[in-house]
Structures are given as C-alpha cells and as structure tokens.
Amino acid sequence: MNFSVVLPAFISFEELTVILILSVVIFGPKKIPEVARGLGEGLRAMKRATEDIKREIMNPVDEINPIKGIQDTIQKSKDELTESMTNLPDPKKELEDTLDDVVGPIKRER
C-alpha cells in the first residue's frame, strides 16, 4: 500500500507511528480494530452524504436548459409570424377590387 496516496501530505511517517503507538496505549490492542471500523464507517457515511448533496445540487442544474427556452421562444415567434402572414389579404385581389371600383364608374358613363 502506498502511504503517500492514503495519508495527507502534512502527516509524516514518524508522526503516524506516534499516533499508532498512542492509540494502542489509550484504547488497547483489542479495541483498535473496533475503533478503526467505526472510523471507517463514519468516513463512508460522510462520503455518501457529500455525494448525495452533490447529486441534489447538480440535478436541478441539469434540468434547467437555457437553450431549450430560447428554442421554444424562437419557435413560438416563428409560428405567430407564419400565422399572421397566412392571414394577410391577397394584394392582387385587393388591387383588382380597387381598380374595379375606380374603373367601374368610368365604363358606365361611356
């Protein structure tokens, strides 16, 4: 096992040895596995809790999609514009009607 990966950079091997000797003196050799197990479970629980918090924070961010909102707005504007363009009167028909209104009285007088 590589101690440089497991241990933080600020604890040297000598300090670790002193800590281990003090733990044997304080807890006794029979209690050390139980204490280590409890520490391991505590660390795992803390890691699980931080992962849960990360997941809860990141999920709402994933659900918010600014591009989708922009695309919806553009599509809505496009649909409204298309609808307003289809409801426009025919300019040719309007011109013919206007000319008929103007030319009609002139044709009748002759």
pLDDT of residue 97: 80
pLDDT of residue 62: 58
pTM of the model: 0.39
CB atoms within 10 A of CB 87: 7
Q: Are 98 and 90 in contact (CB under 8 A)?
A: no
| Mean pLDDT on 36-53 | 91
Concatenate the DSSP letters of all residues of 28-58 into one string.
-TTTHHHHHHHHHHHHHHHHHHHHHHHHHHH
